[in-house]
Amino acid sequence: MPETTDPTPDGVQIDLISRERMEGLTSMEKIRSILDSVREGNIVILEAGLSPDEESRLIEVTMSEINPDDFSGIEIESYPTTGGNEQGFLGRLMGKDSDGQKLTVIGPANQIETLHKDETIISALVSRK
Amino acid sequence: MGLLTDLRNSVSRVQDKLFADGDGEPKRIGIYGPPNAGKTTLANRIARDWTGDAVGPESHVPHETRRARRKENVEIERNGKTVTIDIVDTPGVATKVDYEEFLDHDMEKEEAVRRSREATEGVAEAMHWLREDVDGVIYVLDATEDPFTQVNTMLIGIIESRDLPVLIFANKIDLEDANIKRIRDAYPQHETVPLSALEGDNMDEVYSKIAEYFA
């Protein structure tokens, strides 16, 4: 995880992770890094988001780590890609990568609550443990 | 945007027809969606209509389905042709499962904890099926609920990334608050079919679309 200063005991740590930092990691390293941070009670903001396959594996690994009274899962939000994945088929033919274009917020399910979300805004309430 | 999406969907369907069914095996159609959208009610409706058997128990309690269940060789007749599919009823997908939500449904803590553990295993199983073992997807949404959720957005994205043919079913249209347009507007790149799996409303169109998309 990112090097941090000592977290304030009564605050919420937010990790803003750059596209460059994530690009150097394998899928499982990304997922491990996100979940380790979230399980410490931090909010993770990814500049570039995850690919659909990584999102699928993130859900799967999250499920395997849920424990009663300890970890109830994650809240994750990114902007919806309405209108479809226009770079999908032709984009791949042209060698373009359509994955990872969306800013994504991930936090512990018991500490972050989405208040409002549409194509242009994500409004969330973050609370301490 | 629309043109590219249409082209992509068309090519995807042609690819499926060319490569997916070379051995003549029925296609496995996964029924996906968030908890309590009516997936098992739909699976049971389809199975009962064409085989006489049900797939699994239905309930208002979230995560009633905690294992993927497959109903094999469901033969659907449409316009003189028969389409044979396997229906896979999957657990509702979520990013969080809190046992305390089961306590609201008159369960003791021990039962709620057991149920939540099974639910997490079921969600993981559903994701695995989606990546490895289904040839097409029926995505079921509760038409009375906001479709713009992260789970829906992520799952539709995962399905699209795998180039799986997908139909969106706007379920529970028998309820007063149902809003089909909201679902069509949320996912305009996909065909949305309104229905009530519980009441059997609009099932003719449901079966026609299944035959068209998953033949």
- What DSSP string runs through A70-96? TB-BEEEEE---TT--TTHHHHHHTT-
Question: How many domains does chain B divide into?
Answer: 1
Residue B5 included in any domain: no
Shortest CB distance from A63 goes to which of B124, B157, B187? B124
Taking an 8 Å cut-off on Cβ atoms, the answer to whether A63 and B1 are in contact is no
Q: What angle, rounded to 10 degrees, do the helices at B109-132 and A52-65 form?
A: 150
Task: Kindly provide the ipTM of the predicted complex, given to two decimals.
Answer: 0.81
Residue B178: domain span: 28-214
CATH of residue B136's domain is: 3.40.50.300
Q: Six-digit token pair at B32?
A: 């996906």
Residue B3 included in any domain: no
Residue B9 included in any domain: no
The pTM (predicted TM-score) of the whole model is: 0.84
pLDDT of residue A50: 93
Give residue B4's pLDDT band: very low, low, confident or very high (50, 70, 90): low
| pLDDT at B123 exceeding the cut of 70 | yes
Shortest CB distance from B161 goes to which of A53, A109, A110? A53
What is d(CA A23, CA A27) in angstroms, rounded to the nearest whole number?
Answer: 9
Residue B14 included in any domain: no
Q: What is the pLDDT of residues A50-102, one digit of tens each?
A: 999 999 999 999 999 999 888 999 999 987 654 444 444 444 444 444 444 68
Q: What is the pLDDT of residues B62-102, one digit of tens each?
A: 787 888 888 899 999 988 888 999 999 999 999 999 888 88
Give residue A11's pLDDT band: very low, low, confident or very high (50, 70, 90): confident
pLDDT of residue B22: 46
Query: Counting one residue from A and one from B, how many pairs have CB atoms under 8 Å apart?
Result: 118
Q: What is the pLDDT of residues B147-204, one digit of tens each?
A: 988 899 999 999 999 999 999 999 999 999 999 999 999 999 999 999 999 999 999 9
Q: Which amino acid is at B102?
A: F
Residue B22 included in any domain: no
Tell me which chain B residues have a C-beta less than 8 angstroms from the C-beta of A93: none
Helix (H) or strand (E) holding B9: helix B2-19
Q: What is the pLDDT of residues A19-30, one digit of tens each?
A: 999 999 999 999
| pLDDT at B43 exceeding the cut of 90 | yes
